[in-house]
Chain A
């Protein structure tokens, strides 16, 4: 289990991470959300020991993270972090040995992983000759070569098509089942929503919202009603609790302040011909925009 306790990091007078705490249990996927410059990468670097926190502590399975532990931590950086003049094989051996594996151990595992990610044919090709998507796969493979107990993924799906995204997700789920703790940052909220049990939203290094996603959504009372039928925008006028009405194709999306508003809306349009009336919790994206927007 990863425990991050009250970490604080300053760059000069600028506070990059401000009293941040969270826990990621074994086999749990944790989402770290925030705008650019919110402190996500600094948090990752502190966890990895690349930066020293000014205050607070980070521990993995109860022990402080030092270079004897980092062999079991996988890290996929936001930007491609590969030595592009190397071949795929050389790159994986290089990173594998730096993770404490022997060359033989890397070679034994390499082919299976390359095959699983459908890049075995590129084994002897130079990294710079690969597409961005395939480079991302090599970067991911190098991070999981040593069966990590903690995997840090900073925007792992950037540059991937939906088929490859699924490939990554399947492998991440596999690691999760093996008990690997995973920290995941992404700008694409649907990935976080689909993937993570817990999350934290960072704004200027400070956590403004944290906890289990289902609880966060539950606590965030606003809902969306998706309605199809013989109606128009005017029908929702003067209903107390309706925040906004928008139309997409032939479907109306009615944003409401609370679930209690649903019966009022239904009553107002019940006399009309309705084909669809679905109530959903607000999306994580909406929560993110609302929470971050509140602070601006």
Chain B
């Protein structure tokens, strides 16, 4: 019987991997990722220019503000990791009206610095068109900073005092709850952006899994080929072959998407994008920021726990999808019946994405142990310290118990369901089948 199990499994997997839908969608995903990673090269190819220099012509009517302004701008750019924004400062002796002619059909900027009647700086920023928001904000801050600095200098404060004024304020962060620390506090902010992106693939994989398993069982049932199959292999063998084949398929699909991402990342070097080094720098900066939050120190135990939770949850979702599909008699039925599964998965995703907002509330901590939700929520809450390892272990134990119960009673339902073509009172039929 094991031969038939492996034949069904291999057949199911081969069917998916050889299908036109799989090949076309993978080509599309690959090209999409390649395009995303090389979007700057593509834009440049179609006439865009990321290397185009923006000149800032400074008409300094105050006579001594240009250097301060330029220095302030550089500092601001360093602070936001935008050293390579291709903006250069030029002190201009020309009149503004003349410069207006010069910047026609360019992205160049005129900054006119004046002093008002109270001897404080005011400024005009003149461009041909809209300018980049980040450049505008940086210029605005640089001009404001120049105003403060000039005011301080003119108030005759000595150089030591001036340096002290410009030093960043030393803040000692004290949290009275000894179980909390500042790393986790920083992590909350990071989680809000990072975690939804990290868990999104798992959400999609569950959706794929449910649809594939349910769809296959539903198809075999509606074409009545199920009776012939089940007359040659036990329902249990048939069911588990579907589980193994489709889980293997989604794992292969996940690995492929990861590989496409890697290829896309390394293709930047092949296509020689000018942004390559800054991109790598940004990744390093992001990793460094993550390191400061303490996330990386926790990954060595969170990753294995997450893998265990995901594998167990994949099995649970597969079992539910298979059991419910066995009771359906047409594809429309299955579409209806899979909706609650999708909603649960969807809720899990959003709860997980918003995990940092719950401040460790009891409700969310309990929910993090609930099967079907725990695989996305538990690792998120563990990462930001809102739950401990005990809660995660409870979630794992509960998933094992649920999987055992689903396999035990679900197989009874499945065995009866696949031969039942009745269209009414589905839930009643499910409970009756479980009791048999």
Select B228's contact among A12, A75, A97, A100, beta carbons within 8 Å.
A75
> What class of interface size applies to chain A in its complex with B?
20 to 34
Q: Are B224 and A79 in contact (CB under 8 A)?
A: yes
Instruction: Give A108 to B232 CA distance when docked, in angstroms.
Output: 21
- A66 and chain B: residue at smallest CB distance: B234
Q: Are B231 and A83 in contact (CB under 8 A)?
A: no
Does B78 sit at the interface, judged by CB under 8 A?
Answer: no
Instruction: Give A195 to B234 CA distance when docked, in angstroms.
Output: 32
CB distance from B5 to the nearest CB of A (A): 11
Instruction: Give A143 to B231 CA distance when docked, in angstroms.
Output: 11
Does A80 sit at the interface, judged by CB under 8 A?
Answer: yes
Given contacts A50-B419, A98-B4, A98-B7, contact A67 B228 (CB under 8 A): no
User: Which chain B residues (233-248) contact chain A, with CB distance < 8 Å?
Assistant: 233-234
Does B227 sit at the interface, judged by CB under 8 A?
Answer: yes
Instruction: Give A80 to B228 CA distance when docked, in angstroms.
Output: 10
Q: Are A67 and B223 in contact (CB under 8 A)?
A: no
Q: For B4, B232, B233, which residue has the most chain A Cβ atoms within 10 angstroms?
A: B232
Instruction: Give A67 to B232 CA distance when docked, in angstroms.
Output: 6
Taking CB atoms, residues of chain B closer than 8 Å to A50 are: 227, 230-231, 419
User: Which chain A residues (88-137) contact chain B, with CB distance < 8 Å?
Assistant: 94-95, 97-100
Instruction: Give A73 to B228 CA distance when docked, in angstroms.
Output: 11
Select B225's contact among A51, A81, A100, A143, beta carbons within 8 Å.
A81
Does A82 sit at the interface, judged by CB under 8 A?
Answer: yes
Instruction: Give A100 to B227 CA distance when docked, in angstroms.
Output: 17
Instruction: Give A12 to B233 CA distance when docked, in angstroms.
Output: 26
Q: Are B228 and A81 in contact (CB under 8 A)?
A: yes
Q: Are A99 and B419 in contact (CB under 8 A)?
A: no
Taking CB atoms, residues of chain B closer than 8 Å to A77 are: 224, 227-228
CB distance from A202 to the nearest CB of B (A): 19
Taking CB atoms, residues of chain A closer than 8 Å to B234 are: 67
Q: Are A51 and B229 in contact (CB under 8 A)?
A: no
User: Which chain B residues (319-355) contact chain A, with CB distance < 8 Å?
Assistant: none
Does B270 sit at the interface, judged by CB under 8 A?
Answer: no
CB distance from B177 to the nearest CB of A (A): 59
Instruction: Give A79 to B222 CA distance when docked, in angstroms.
Output: 10
Does B184 sit at the interface, judged by CB under 8 A?
Answer: no
User: Which chain A residues (194-213) contact chain B, with CB distance < 8 Å?
Assistant: none
List residues of chain B with CB under 8 Å of any chain A CB: 1, 4, 7-8, 11, 219-220, 223-234, 419, 432
List residues of chain A with CB under 8 Å of any chain B CB: 12, 45, 48-51, 67, 70-71, 73, 75, 77, 79-84, 94-95, 97-100, 142-143
Q: List 23 A-B contacts (CB under 8 A).
A: A12-B432, A45-B419, A48-B231, A50-B227, A50-B231, A50-B419, A51-B419, A67-B1, A71-B232, A75-B231, A80-B223, A81-B223, A81-B225, A81-B226, A82-B225, A83-B219, A83-B220, A84-B223, A94-B11, A97-B7, A98-B8, A99-B232, A142-B228
